Structure 1
């Protein structure tokens, strides 16, 4: 990727994740102030505030950018709010990058924060029969059920076992022990995971993530601005992919399926398309990646993402896991932060939290969970109704 398309990460900040029961704005302001301090810039110098929306927190959550700008103190910055469910943070980051690359501002603040209810997440009120996620919730397919279907698919196609899924939890729990922002800090054995209550067969309680309160924030800038303030070596965002699925269209001449290969009209999974576009934009390949932060709503889903990111061939993620390659110290550590297994879902914050982790890793500031010689990190998220994201960060 040309440096003209890159932006610098000047500062990152988080509010610890848990079940605090307070207003989401409090968490977002804490994360934002930490990111601003880390960046070494003044609040008044930030000219664009991009918020990730939280639809569970009323109107202030739906206009999160303005809400955070007001809470930090009006100073004339432009505001933006983006919504894409679990990919909201990346969408808000993409808006900030576009503003910077267009030359309309030099430094921007991106914030995501959430206060979540107890139990399963539910869709926002309203009738949306064209929204497949709304439909699945109305049919009773909550997130654990949805991801259990993915897990069953892995078992049928690749021979994965509940023990493989449990090993993902064991690995991520070990990583999260060293993260001061993680909600859960407890070691597990495979036997303990397999003994936890069944939620949606084959996924047990320890296979699925909780819902959490928390926040994450980034201060990003043009490369020129970073150089002027002495941060020319700051980690850089070199790609943000937010593509949607692609399916055959009736407007395109279709092959005769009786005589032509069905592959010619096969739909393209957006989970696979997301990193493909990110790699193309960054001008690198999966062989260049040092670590990955992926959306592990379930243990089995992490294995899917490993393959979607092309870190191994399709169907080989469990073997990669069992080899130790995805642990810290292995060839390609996955979720060194501990992932959602240790954080839980704070929906608009989680894509930004992943970028925070990559930033600390690329700076060499991750402490006991540091990935040696980390140079390139990639993230992956799945949102509602075809929204998703993948971000690549380099040093």
Structure 2
């Protein structure tokens, strides 16, 4: 039996700071995805919601919340939480239900209404959580640990602040072409350099914002797609939600030497690399087969790490790719043709779904001015706190 499922619909609520309920964003995205699929809400047999922890109880039961917002019609519901990987786990859950024969049509929805500023830990004290410890014991809020990664790249590989700025310039240029993006203004390297220092060497424009937004997908069995006369839909071929492998038990921080002035080279076989490797193995594809990629650019420096982790280049060669323009629109392997988090900001449970929306439009050839010519295969990648992997491979 084929492990592919069809993507018949993709929809989004534009990102921004709208000041409304996450339910409104998710409902709008779901309706857009259903319209894109040419299906009615009553055709949906299952709803999988990606949870948000910032919106009270409705956020914890997102599947039921969105089903209610669209109008109770008897569909089964599932709610999943995996921090930034929530959307990928929602897609994986929907795919499993389809392949198990539990539903022919599954609606996947994620949406968030984000607070101003960086995300503080949610859920109270969690002394058994390495990420809570990162915040409380080390004082390493997200911008601080993004900066640790950036500093290590500078020390070990010779990356520069100018290299990091090129990532923002590239993603901002793509974002100007995306009507769903929050920031649709070109940015120069000089503007990045002139923005406020947040955690040296990263400036304000090196780090993504927090945003409101929503994204949704309508996934179906291949048989259902064919019954609707769609013989060549975009297909999800792999979903990777792997966890780290022992002895890598302390997560999300670069190795730190006893002498804090000395950078430690990354250990072989990073967790992020294992996320992509599992997706490639399941899909029967490799980096050379890709037309494009969507990766989680929480910071400009972190995007360069992802180039290496998903196999677009060797260790320490990420900056070379961005300098050459290889990952820009029109380059050899565009990365974040959507504009990435640099243009959207972060709406956590929606983000991994939004990445697959972009792959869908690109593989259909309907991405407008940001279209990657002849796109046939793409990968998404991000990482949720506490060891949640997230990668999806889509093909046409």
Shorter-chain TM-score range: over 0.9
Q: How does 1:46-85 map to 2 (within 5 A)?
A: 46-85=44-83
Pick from 89, 112, 120 the counterpart of residue 91 of structure 1.
89
Checking the alignment, whether the CA contact within 8 Å between 1:362 and 1:376 is kept in structure 2 is yes
Checking the alignment, whether the CA contact within 8 Å between 2:184 and 2:343 is kept in structure 1 is yes
Equivalent residue of 1:211, what SS? coil
Please state if 1:24 is matched with 2:18.
no
1:33 aligned residue: 31
Q: Distance in 1 between matches of 2:83 and 2:325?
A: 32
Q: What TM-score results when the alignment is normalised by the length of structure 1?
A: 0.94
Q: Distance in 1 between matches of 2:71 and 2:49?
A: 15
1:109 aligned residue: 107
Pick from 109, 115, 118 the counterpart of residue 116 of structure 2.
118
Q: What are the Cα deviations for residues 39-79 of structure 1, in whole angstroms up to 9, with x where unaligned?
A: 01111111110000000000000000000000100111000
Checking the alignment, whether the CA contact within 8 Å between 1:90 and 1:240 is kept in structure 2 is yes
Q: What are the Cα deviations for residues 219-238 of structure 1, in whole angstroms up to 9, with x where unaligned?
A: 00000000001122110000
Q: Distance in 1 between matches of 2:356 and 2:5?
A: 13
Q: CA deviation at 1:267?
A: 7.3
Equivalent residue of 1:55, what SS? coil
Q: Distance in 2 between matches of 1:173 and 1:4?
A: 38
Equivalent residue of 2:2, what SS? helix
Q: CA deviation at 1:178?
A: 0.3
Equivalent residue of 1:217, what SS? strand
Q: Distance in 2 between matches of 1:235 and 1:273?
A: 25
Q: Distance in 2 between matches of 1:268 and 1:247?
A: 12
2:311 aligned residue: 310
2:376 aligned residue: 375
Equivalent residue of 2:243, what SS? coil
Equivalent residue of 1:179, what SS? coil
Q: Distance in 1 between matches of 2:208 and 2:305?
A: 16
Q: Distance in 2 between matches of 1:343 and 1:186?
A: 12
Checking the alignment, whether the CA contact within 8 Å between 1:50 and 1:80 is kept in structure 2 is yes
Checking the alignment, whether the CA contact within 8 Å between 1:218 and 1:352 is kept in structure 2 is yes
Checking the alignment, whether the CA contact within 8 Å between 1:246 and 1:269 is kept in structure 2 is no
Instruction: State how many pairs are aligned.
Output: 378
Q: Distance in 2 between matches of 1:247 and 1:162?
A: 34
Checking the alignment, whether the CA contact within 8 Å between 2:270 and 2:309 is kept in structure 1 is no
Q: What are the Cα deviations for residues 236-256 of structure 1, in whole angstroms up to 9, with x where unaligned?
A: 000000111112399xxxxxx
Equivalent residue of 2:54, what SS? helix
Q: How does 1:236-251 map to 2 (within 5 A)?
A: 236-248=235-247
Q: What are the Cα deviations for residues 153-192 of structure 1, in whole angstroms up to 9, with x where unaligned?
A: 1111110000000000000000000000000011111111
Q: Distance in 1 between matches of 2:123 and 2:247?
A: 31
Checking the alignment, whether the CA contact within 8 Å between 2:293 and 2:380 is kept in structure 1 is yes
Equivalent residue of 1:5, what SS? coil
Q: CA deviation at 1:268?
A: 4.0
Q: Distance in 1 between matches of 2:247 and 2:296?
A: 27
2:365 aligned residue: 364
1:254 aligned residue: none
Please state if 1:330 is matched with 2:331.
yes
1:321 aligned residue: 322
1:175 aligned residue: 174
